[in-house]
């Protein structure tokens, strides 16, 4: 018989009133009555029992001590319960939840039950007066990639599901319930694991919510916020609603709600309340309670609503398509991607923009992801595609800042649709936003190792430039190696600098506060912060040390407070790195980089075949040998080759032939420490052994014995597990060689292990070997670049005709001059190919031929309106600055100018090695660039069409680099009498560091040549001004300053600076130049060249005499 809804509601209300009254009585008794009783009882018990407590051992116990203990427990229990109640009342009134400290969970739950029962009867605001209707738990499910469906009528009645126009991923709407929802509770319910709250936080960090607030993981969730969810949200969540009305839908009970009312609203018949009860009977609810009585439901309960599957939405079509949902840029370009795959992509879709789905309660279907066909079948289609200029976006998508989880990564089996419409360059790298993970698919080189290697190669290139003679060029390969492209795609110099500076700042504050550094297991670098993973046995009663704070959610974890000031560069370099053994082992499934503190682990066993062990050990050794935070370490390697110790700029690496040699070295270290420990108390450098060769069990056992004798010395062993597992049965084991994440017990997470393959290692050795080659001899006019010469007289003879000297105040000051904020070592790093040793030829297309040496000026270009590509500074092209893709188009124009005849595949790879452009994207950008460059006087485009599948600019296109070389070579040929004007004009073309300081693998050789030539021109000008019959020292100083603005590590310019100040009789200026160079060398961790030392010593010795 159908049940009457009214009586049920009335009965429910009477029961709620009775429970509320009973709760009020219990609450008043516990908070008010109990302390009144204790106030009266405590003095009486104390008066009769304190003597028993004083003589507890030497007298017979009369029970007085027990009564005192009972009174103390009662007071403590009352205090904790009252504190929990005081916290619970405002929390429930605001619809929030709070986490009770450890040990107070029972008091918090009891207070929550009593307070919740009372608040139901009180007058409520909006948070408590919501009608008794069910709120769907999730606001969007996976949108099928191919199967459209009809919108459900209830989606309009309750518009809780919204599919954003720029994102087809699942969403969740934060509800106004008691207790308030948290990232943990949402992850626990929707993803099946509360630990995955970080996935949700990463996907939403920095997003602007509906009320204008910016989401951060540390802020409270507000009702109405729409959160992006991982792609597996609906599959993983135990209470997630089924797609297309299939299965059960989760709802939350609002204040005053009943099972009858919910069944009537959700199922159309209140009599079906028993189905809801049976579906949720015994299920664990928030707070740990279970549903046992259909008349006893409280606000905040999560109930599953059973619904039969609808005939128009079969289960197969309700499941998400395995293809990764397209991001904002892919969605916009889906049309072009489809065309590319099916013929229309030859051009028809290049400029289309799909209209955004209507933002209503209805669900919209996502465009299907096309299957990509080989791009070389119909090259003639490219030209047709380029005839359609790309249409502008209807709405600028937000920049995706989240670190995608493993499930959100694009798979090889399901390529995403390419984009073809113009986007804001800040939003993505054309087709898809580059992932901040820094690892290639599967195992590979992480961002920290990549950044450290880029910096190491940059130092080698810097030393090449320093050690060459004026006019010479350094040895560089014409084409980048595959490794250089990987490093360019993966490197994040900012993360390397942040990690190093934050750790040194921690050590600085620890020393100032007189506190010991915490023992850490490792570190985790997310896309927005740095976290230190503390040892579980670490006790930090005084709290975290600046600049770190206690992590709000993870125990034994400190996170970097980005609001606190870090040490500047000079202060950081003066402070020792506290954890030199930190080394990246890979990334977790969320894309966060994981570092293991090897001395804390002491022994790391690599479990896998010999090739996989060698690849992983090689990556560990290279990062430890090149990272800035391991500058104080002694690293021994076995089985990793003997080339690197002599080629790396840092001298931390040492190769030994076998374990016995490592044992002898360790024994000597222990003996040395034992003999000198009592004298000065100096702690030796961290000693690390990284072995990839097979080891005998006896050798491993000897190492284990030595490790036991080492006690607290900072030692670390990395060994193959197969040979050392018996000697180190309790060591950390890490499975290597797997493309899937593996478990790390010490870090308590899964890890995608980092590695470097044999081919990558060979590329690195080749790049470093090329950097050791001698410079190429000077050719043509560059043979006339003057060498640095010392005037034996020390000063120029005074002459009435000499130009008056007007030294800069900064140059005459005793303090070092800093002509510009010194860039980090990564700024000087460029990629250095190694396979080919021929220098890349300069295109002889774009500028008129050199005039004769006696001509006064370089002839102007015939075409006055030809595009002018400027690369001596930030890359720009006149006429396209206002474009939404201005920088990308300018970079593309520079690529076409310096690489004439480049193929489409090579261009796509060069424009973004991390996420290469699709053919459709390249066609769209080529079309836009052609339209913006325009045509010449004859009507021919400056970017001609080429049906052979290659691209090149018109010979009429101009470039500031070509004009620079023309002016410089002609000025050198004219000599100091007539060539100064040409060299000044050439230097005036330089606006900054070539290509804006960007590290571009395809332009690495060209950037090095530019730096060398700019330095040569500045040196020549300074020398000519200084040695002229009428010396102009002011102009010479100005030239040196401009040269150092471009390359502050050019040592020859510091020699010029010292000679200028010596000629001016400015001893303080000479010292300023020397000290400035020494500071830069200390920052780069390199020594000063002997020629510079000779110049300085000669000047200072004769000045003193």
Residues paired with residue 196 on neighbouring β-strands, in sequence order: none
CB-CB contact of 427 with 331 (8 Å): no
**What residues contact 1093, with CB distance under 8 A and at least 6 apart?**
none
Cβ-based neighbours of 39, under 8 Å, separated by 6 or more:
none
User: Which residue reads 């030994």 in tokens?
Assistant: 656
681: pLDDT strictly greater than 90: no
Lowest mean pLDDT among 323-337, 542-556, 851-865, 971-985: 323-337
Per mean pLDDT, which range of 271-285, 747-761, 783-797 is the poorest? 783-797
Length of the chain: 1105
Contact of 496 with 455, CB cutoff 8 Å = yes
Gyration radius of the chain over CA positions: 36
Contacts of 505 by beta carbon, 8 Å cutoff, 6+ apart: 546, 547, 566, 567, 572, 575
Task: Give me the phi and psi of 1043, to 5 degrees please.
Answer: -65, -40
Residue 715 phi, psi dihedral angles, 5° rounding: -125, 150
* φ, ψ at 190 (rounded to 5°): -90, -30
Share of the chain above pLDDT 90, in %: 18
Q: What is the dihedral of CA 851, 853, 856, 857, to 10 degrees?
A: 40
pLDDT score of 898: 92
Predicted local distance difference test score (pLDDT) of residue 87: 82
* Residues 373-392, mean pLDDT to the nearest whole number: 35
User: Where does the pLDDT of residue 551 fall: very low under 50, low under 70, confident under 90, or very high at 90 and above?
Assistant: confident
H or E stretch covering 383: helix 380-386
Handedness of CA 192, 195, 198, 204 (dihedral sign): positive
What average pLDDT does the structure give for the chain?
A: 72
Bridge partner list, 776: 473
Digit-coded pLDDT (tens) for 84-97: 888 888 776 655 55
pLDDT band at 594, cuts 50/70/90?
A: very high
pTM here is 0.55
Q: How confident is the model at residue 160 (pLDDT cuts 50, 70, 90)?
A: very low
Hey, which residues does 306 pair with through a beta bridge?
248
Q: For 1023-1082, give the DSSP string.
A: HHHHHSSS--HHHHHHHHHHHHHH-TT-HHHHHHHHHHHHHTT-HHHHHHHHHHHHHHHH
CB 736 within 8 A of CB 615: yes
What pLDDT sits at residue 256?
65
* Closest C-alpha to 321, from 373, 250, 372, 370: 370
**Range 478-488 burial, b when 16+ CB lie within 10 A, else e:** ebbbebbbbbb
Nearest to 689 by CA among 777, 782, 791, 581: 581
Of 245, 250, 243, the closest CA to residue 286 belongs to: 250
Mean pLDDT across 48-72: 73
Q: What is the pLDDT of residues 773-802, one digit of tens each?
A: 888 999 999 999 999 887 644 444 333 344
Backbone φ and ψ of 504, nearest 5°: -70, -35
- The CB-side HSE value for 968 (13 A sphere, CA atoms) comes to 28
- Yes or no: say if 952 and 901 are a contact pair by the CB < 8 Å rule: yes
Give the model's pLDDT for residue 498.
Answer: 87
Identify the residue with better confidence: 416 or 48.
Answer: 48
148 or 181, which is more confident: 181
| Confidence tier at 968 by pLDDT (50, 70, 90) | very high
Q: What is the pLDDT of residue 866?
A: 84
Strand 742-744 relative to strand 749-753: parallel, antiparallel, unpaired? antiparallel
| CATH class of the domain comprising 780-842+961-1104 | mainly alpha
Rounded to an integer, what is the distance from CA 394 to the centroid of its chain?
30
Residue ranges of the domains in the chain?
9-119, 583-754, 780-842+961-1104, 868-955
Task: Identify the residue whose tokens are 């190093």.
Answer: 500
Contact criterion met (CB below 8 Å) for 886 and 870: no
What is the rounded CA–CA span in Å between residue 522 and residue 594?
Answer: 7
pLDDT at 823: 38
What is the residue-wise DSSP string for 949-966? SEE---TT-EEHHHHHHH
Cα–Cα distance measured from residue 1014 to residue 1042, given in angstroms and rounded to the nearest whole number: 10
pLDDT confidence of residue 651:
79
Query: Quick one: which of 553, 438, 520 has its CA closest to 198?
Result: 553
Choice between 894 and 485, residue whose per-residue pLDDT is larger: 894
864-874 burial, b at 16+ Cβ within 10 Å, e below that, comes to eebbbbbbbbb
| pLDDT of amino acid 738 | 87
Residue 391, pLDDT above cutoff 60: no
Name the band, by pLDDT with cuts 50, 70 and 90, for residue 1019.
very high
* Strand, helix or coil for residue 524: strand
- For the record, the structure tokens of 840 come out as 């890349």
CATH superfamily of 583-754: P-loop containing nucleotide triphosphate hydrolases (3.40.50.300)
Q: How far apart are CA 924 and CA 348, in angstroms?
A: 11
**How is residue 345 written in tokens?**
């992509």
The predicted pLDDT at position 1026 comes to: 93
3-state secondary structure labels for all residues of 882-937? CCCCHHHHHHHHHHHHHCCCEEHHHHHHHHCCCCCCCHHHHHHHHHHHHHHHCECC
pLDDT > 70: what percent of the chain? 67
pLDDT for position 285:
63
Residues 19 and 9: their CA atoms lie apart, in Å, by 15
Domain spanning 868-955, CATH class: mainly alpha
pLDDT beyond 80 at 307: no
Q: Looking at residue 848, what is its pLDDT?
A: 37
| Position 591 pLDDT exceeds 70 | yes
């Amino acid at each position: 018989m159908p049940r009457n809804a009214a009586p049920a509601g009335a009965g429910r209300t009477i029961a709620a009133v009775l429970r509320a009254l009973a709760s009020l009585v219990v609450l008043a008794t516990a908070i008010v009555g109990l302390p009144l009783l204790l106030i009266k009882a405590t003095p009486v018990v104390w008066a009769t029992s304190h003597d028993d407590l004083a003589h507890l051992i030497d007298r017979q116990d009369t029970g007085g001590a027990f009564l005192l203990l009972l009174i103390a427990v009662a007071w403590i229990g009352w205090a904790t319960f009252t504190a929990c109640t005081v916290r619970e009342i405002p929390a429930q009134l605001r619809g929030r939840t709070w986490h009770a400290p450890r040990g107070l969970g029972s008091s918090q739950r009891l207070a929550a039950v009593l307070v919740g029962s009372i608040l139901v009867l009180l007058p409520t605001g909006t948070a408590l007066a919501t009608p008794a209707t069910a709120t769907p738990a999730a606001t969007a499910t996976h949108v099928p990639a191919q199967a459209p469906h009809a919108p459900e009528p209830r989606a309009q009645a309750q518009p809780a599901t919204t599919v954003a126009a720029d994102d087809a991923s699942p969403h969740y709407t934060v509800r106004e319930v008691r207790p308030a929802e948290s990232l943990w509770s949402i992850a626990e319910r929707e993803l099946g694991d509360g630990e995955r709250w970080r996935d949700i936080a990463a996907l939403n960090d920095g997003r602007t919510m509906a009320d204008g607030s910016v989401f951060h993981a540390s802020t409270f969730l507000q009702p109405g916020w729409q959160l992006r969810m991982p792609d597996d949200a609906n599959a993983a969540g135990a209470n997630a609603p089924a797609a297309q009305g299939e299965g059960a839908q989760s709802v939350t009970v609002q204040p005053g709600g009943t099972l009858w009312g919910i069944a009537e609203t959700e199922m159309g018949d209140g009599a079906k309340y028993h189905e809801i009860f049976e579906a949720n009977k015994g299920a664990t609810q928030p707070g740990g309670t279970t549903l046992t009585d259909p008349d006893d439901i409280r606000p905040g309960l999560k109930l599953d609503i059973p619904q039969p599957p609808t005939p128009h939405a079969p289960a197969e079509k309700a499941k998400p398509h395995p293809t990764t949902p397209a991001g904002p840029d892919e969605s916009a370009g889906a049309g072009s991607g489809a065309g590319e795959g099916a013929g229309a992509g030859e051009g028809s879709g290049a400029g289309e923009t799909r209209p955004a789905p209507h933002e209503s309660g209805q669900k919209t279907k996502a465009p299907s992801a096309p299957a990509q066909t080989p791009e070389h079948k119909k090259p003639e289609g490219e030209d047709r595609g380029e005839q359609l200029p790309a249409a502008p976006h209807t709405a600028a998508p937000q920049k995706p800042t989240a670190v995608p989880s493993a499930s959100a990564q694009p798979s090889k089996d399901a390529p995403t649709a390419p984009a073809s419409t113009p986007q804001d360059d800040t939003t993505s790298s054309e087709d898809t936003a580059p992932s901040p993970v820094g690892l290639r698919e599967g195992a590979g080189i992480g961002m920290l190792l990549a950044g450290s290697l880029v910096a190491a190669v940059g130092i080698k290139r810097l030393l090449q430039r320093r050690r060459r003679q004026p006019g010479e060029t350094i040895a560089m390969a014409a084409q980048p190696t595959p490794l250089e492209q990987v490093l360019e795609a993966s490197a994040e110099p900012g993360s390397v600098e942040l990690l190093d500076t934050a750790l040194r700042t921690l050590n600085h504050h620890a020393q100032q506060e007189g506190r010991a550094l915490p023992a850490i297991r490792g570190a985790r670098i997310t896309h927005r912060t740095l976290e230190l993973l503390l040892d579980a046995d670490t006790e930090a009663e005084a709290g975290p040390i600046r600049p770190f704070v206690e992590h709000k959610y993870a125990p034994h974890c400190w996170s970097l407070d980005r609001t606190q000031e870090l040490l500047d560069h000079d202060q950081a370099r003066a402070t020792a790195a506290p954890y030199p053994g930190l080394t990246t082992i890979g990334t977790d499934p969320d894309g966060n980089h994981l570092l293991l503190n090897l001395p804390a682990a002491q022994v790391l066993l690599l479990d896998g075949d010999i090739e996989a062990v060698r690849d992983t050990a090689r990556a560990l050794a290279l990062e430890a040998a090149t990272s800035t935070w391991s500058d104080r370490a002694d690293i021994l390697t076995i089985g990793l080759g003997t080339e690197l110790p002599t080629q790396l700029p840092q001298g931390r690496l040492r190769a030994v032939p076998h374990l016995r040699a490592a044992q002898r070295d360790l024994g000597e270290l222990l003996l040395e420490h034992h003999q000198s420990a009592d004298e000065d108390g100096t702690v030796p450098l961290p000693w690390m052994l990284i072995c990839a060769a097979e080891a005998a069990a006896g050798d491993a056992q000897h190492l284990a014995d030595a490790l036991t004798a080492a006690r607290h010395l900072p030692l670390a062993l990395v060994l193959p597990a197969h040979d050392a597992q018996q000697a180190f049965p309790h060591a950390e084991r890490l499975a290597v060689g797997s493309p899937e994440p593996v478990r790390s017990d010490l870090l308590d997470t899964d890890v995608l292990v980092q590695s470097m393959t044999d081919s990558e290692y060979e590329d690195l050795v080749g790049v470093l070997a090329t950097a050791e080659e001698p410079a190429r001899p000077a050719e043509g006019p560059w043979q006339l670049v003057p060498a640095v010469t010392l005037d034996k007289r020390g000063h120029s003879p005074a002459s009435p005709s000499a130009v008056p000297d007007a030294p800069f105040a900064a140059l005459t000051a005793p303090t070092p001059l800093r002509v510009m904020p010194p860039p980090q070592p990564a700024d000087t790093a460029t990629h250095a190919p190694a396979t080919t040793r021929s220098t890349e030829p300069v295109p002889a297309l774009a500028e008129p031929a050199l005039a004769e040496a006696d001509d006064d000026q370089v002839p102007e270009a015939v075409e006055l309106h030809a595009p002018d590509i400027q690369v001596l500074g930030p890359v720009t092209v006149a006429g396209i600055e206002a474009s939404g893709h201005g920088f990308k188009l300018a970079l593309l124009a520079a690529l076409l100018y310096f690489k004439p005849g480049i193929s489409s595949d090579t261009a796509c790879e060069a424009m973004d090695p991390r996420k290469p452009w699709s053919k459709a994207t390249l066609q769209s950008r080529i079309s836009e660039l052609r339209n913006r460059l325009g045509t010449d006087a004859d009507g021919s485009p400056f970017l001609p069409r080429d049906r052979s599948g290659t691209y090149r600019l018109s010979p009429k296109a101009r470039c500031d680099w070509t004009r620079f070389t023309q002016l410089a070579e002609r000025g050198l040929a004219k000599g100091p009498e007539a060539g100064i004007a040409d060299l000044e004009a050439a230097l005036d073309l330089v606006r900054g560091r070539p290509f804006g300081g960007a590290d571009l693998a395809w332009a690495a050789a060209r950037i090095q040549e530019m730096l060398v030539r700019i330095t040569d021109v500045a040196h020549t000008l300074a020398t000519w001004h200084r040695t002229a019959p009428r010396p102009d020292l002011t102009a010479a100083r100005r030239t040196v300053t401009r040269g150092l603005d471009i390359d502050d590590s050019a040592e020859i310019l510091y020699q010029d600076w010292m000679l200028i100040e010596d000629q001016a009789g400015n001893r303080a200026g000479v010292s300023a130049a020397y000290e400035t160079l020494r500071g830069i060398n200390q920052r780069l961790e390199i020594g000063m060249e002997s020629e510079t030392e000779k110049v300085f010593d000669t000047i200072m010795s004769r000045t003193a005499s």
